[in-house]
């Protein structure tokens, strides 16, 4: 009997340690400093839409609060979406944040394994993405970070349909320079 409890107690301790560690990883850092000394946007605030309509585990009130605070302090306008996506709900937003959407609220529910989005929502979001700007435009807006050569190579990859291989070559070039 004593030998059994000798093995059982360390096992219980290990399980409790793992549970505590797992739970600790499920919360935002309460000490994260989201201050921004020089906000990127003092006017014409880009609108960011956070999806919280699809049983999202991560929201602007829990694990993604520091991220939302950082965006807000950098001059972005934050909005929370709690309805199915429509063309109108996405129209005025430049950025869409979707984190861990689920098919149902409880992972034990029948619909949990199903899709989080309806076919109509997928089509609306797909159209919204297609209507957005190009990656090269975003890079070009940061001339202190991305050279003209880099921007033009990305633009050529976009136009020529070879963006993935272009980005791989550029990544290799950056990696080689840093090593």
pTM over 0.85, yes/no: no
Angstrom distance (rounded) from CA 21 to CA 101: 23
pLDDT at 25: 57
Neighbouring residues of 96: CB distance < 8 A, sequence distance ≥ 6? 48, 49, 51, 90, 125, 128
pLDDT in tens, 116-174: 889 999 998 888 888 886 777 777 766 777 888 888 888 888 888 888 888 888 888 88
pLDDT at 82 over 60: yes
pLDDT category of residue 110 using cuts at 50, 70 and 90: confident
pLDDT in tens, 53-70: 998 888 898 888 999 999
Q: Are 59 and 81 in contact (CB under 8 A)?
A: no
- Give domain limits for the chain: 47-132, 136-178
């Amino acid at each position: 009997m004593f030998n059994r409890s000798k093995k059982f107690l360390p096992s219980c301790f290990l399980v409790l340690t793992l549970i505590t560690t797992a739970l600790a990883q499920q919360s935002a850092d309460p000490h994260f400093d989201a201050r921004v000394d020089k906000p990127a946007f003092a006017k014409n605030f880009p609108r960011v839409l956070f999806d919280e309509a699809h049983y999202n585990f991560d929201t602007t009130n829990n694990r993604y609060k520091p991220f939302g605070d950082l965006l807000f302090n950098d001059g972005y306008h934050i909005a929370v979406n709690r309805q199915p996506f429509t063309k109108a709900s996405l129209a005025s937003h430049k950025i869409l944040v979707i984190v861990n959407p689920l098919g149902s609220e409880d992972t034990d529910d029948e619909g949990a394994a199903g899709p989080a989005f309806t076919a109509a929502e997928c089509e609306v979001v797909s159209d919204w993405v297609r209507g957005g700007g190009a990656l090269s435009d975003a890079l070009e807006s940061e001339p202190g970070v991305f050279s003209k050569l880099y921007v033009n190579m990305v633009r050529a990859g976009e136009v020529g349909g070879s963006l993935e291989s272009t980005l791989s070559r550029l990544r290799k070039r950056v990696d080689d320079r840093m090593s």
